[in-house]
Structure 1
């Protein structure tokens, strides 16, 4: 009887050992399967990062602040235009009222001559754009065609809107070294109602449309060379 019991228990232990070995193999196999699954799923998740879409064009202009008492500034500036403005000769805005504060650039060679001095208006404008060196004040019911500002100024410029118009600017086209277009140019529009200070890249093509007859604009630039005293 004791021999029979011992044999039974030995067989039971053998069965348990075999089951443990089988369970261990199963767990090892499942572990390998899970690792492969995780690696495969991870690879699937990382595939999109290997083929990114073309970058979206960012606007070369933005409204950086709004002035609440712009109508008061517009009235003062309108009186200044009435007494001191000349007529614009540039092709893109021929015929509008125009005057230059501090200095007037020569579009052809980038040099300057002395401009109109008005301490009250210039002090106010310097608070809006501290790095500006000169300003163009313009008015009249004249749209401004597509153009880039000439070599007289750096690319960073500002437009202070005193009335309604639509400002449009075209972003720069980005190409690869092989000449392929990576990011196409895009036109961005800003509907200005008055009081907005728009900062923009003046070397990008831009224009003004839907100009209200009473609208006045003031462009500001930083000069590349010293201005005349």
Structure 2
């Protein structure tokens, strides 16, 4: 499915029977997360999925891998090979803002991104605010300005998915 360069669209919703399992997986994954190093996402916890990109050097390395999550992500965005699980909320001694300032995604990714939203937030895209609700799956041009400006639920997770931009030299690690 292609996305017009300026469009943000709701492409699907996570099935209710999958939503509960997915949220449980995300909660269990908090202990694997680390504080984001991006200056745009101070105080946000995240976990690279499948591959990781060092945003300073552009080096691609292996990220966290789970078969069930991989299969789910392939159904959400066929061909995806790099992702980021983010968290907003408080669990135990971990408190994460879950926010990220307006930014354009690094050149490691192709233009189209998909996000699985778990919880509720305000997502600003190309100068306009959108409320993302529990289970929404959106597609957008990640080279346009976008960010999460407010978390509306007690906890919020996002699974952000891209395809590595092999044309620019970002290749999967074997």
Task: Give the TM-score normalised by the residue count of structure 2.
Answer: 0.83
**Structure with greater proportional helix content:** 1
Whole-angstrom distance in 2 between the partners of 1:195 and 1:61: 16
1:76 correspondence with 2:32 = no
Equivalent of 1:195, from 129, 132, 135? 135
Q: Tell me if 1:118 matches 2:71.
A: no
- The separation in 2 between residues aligned to 1:221 and 1:67, in whole angstroms, is 18
The number of aligned residues is 155
Post-superposition Cα deviations, 1:103-133, rounded to whole Å, max 9, x if no partner, equal: 1001123320111111111111111100211
Unaligned runs of 5+ in 1: 1-57, 171-186
Q: Secondary structure at the match of 1:226?
A: coil
**Which has the higher Rg, Structure 1 or Structure 2?**
1
User: 67, 77, 80: which is aligned to 2:14?
Assistant: 67
Alpha-carbon separation, structure 1, partners of 2:81 and 2:66: 13
Is 1:216 the equivalent of 2:157? yes
**Counterparts of residues 1-229 of structure 1 (less than 5 Å):** 59-69=6-16, 70-82=19-31, 84-141=32-89, 142=97, 143-170=99-126, 187-211=127-151, 212-224=153-165, 225-229=170-174
For structure 2, the residue ranges without an aligned partner over 5 or more in a row are 90-96
Runs of 4+ in 1 over 6 A off after TM superposition: none
Aligned residues of 2:50 and 2:64 also touching (Cα < 8 A): yes
TM-score between both structures, scaled by the size of structure 1: 0.64
CA RMSD of aligned residues (A): 1.5
**1:150 to partner: Cα distance:** 0.6
Q: CA deviation at 1:190?
A: 1.9
CA contact (8 A) 1:106 1:152 kept: no
